[in-house]
Structure 1
Amino acid sequence: MSTSKIILGTTAGLAISGILGILFAPEKGSVTRKQILDKGCDYADDLKSKFSDLAASITDKIQSTKEFAQDLTQEAKTKFDDAKNDVNSSSSNY
């Protein structure tokens, strides 16, 4: 099972159990609704934070891949230029 499915299942389970715990608590309706709203905001903030971390991680990986491709391109260009110069110098010897 993939990690994202496990995280999603765990988060959903925590949210449902939190809401059920609040609903069955012996509090007034207004207090219970406030607690549900607060828990929902907490979960939303946590989800936003995790999404931001994921987006930053993806951005870093893209940047790293881009830099690797640029380095690889530069190395290939240098080797091509060296080979071209070798061919030119070899042909001038004949």
Structure 2
Amino acid sequence: MGRKQNPDSDHDAMTISEAAKILRVSRTHLNTLIDEGKLDGVRYTQVGHRRILRAAVLAYKEESKTTQKKGLNRMVEASERMRLYDRELEGLPVRRKS
């Protein structure tokens, strides 16, 4: 990724710490995502500090939530196909509506 100068003129730029808090990840992990090209919208200050666009952070957060939800749904479907839930329910009392 090439460096772009003067991100402070972009009002929607945030620090790595601020972005990490929004994503609920460590700064180290966030920097890894940036270095691996998984997160766009990164700019650099004149002294080399990273700033990231709020829109990019929010888009990544939404994409991550969607990916997690799909993965969880696949896990539940696989568990149901394997009848894992049936085994967990064995022996539990059944409550019937009166």
Say which structure, 1 or 2, has more relative contact order (CA 8 Å, 6+ apart).
2
User: Between Structure 1 and Structure 2, which shows a larger proportion of helix residues?
Assistant: 1
Assess same fold via TM > 0.5. Answer: no
Q: TM-score, normalised by structure 1?
A: 0.40
User: Between Structure 1 and Structure 2, which shows a larger proportion of strand residues?
Assistant: 2
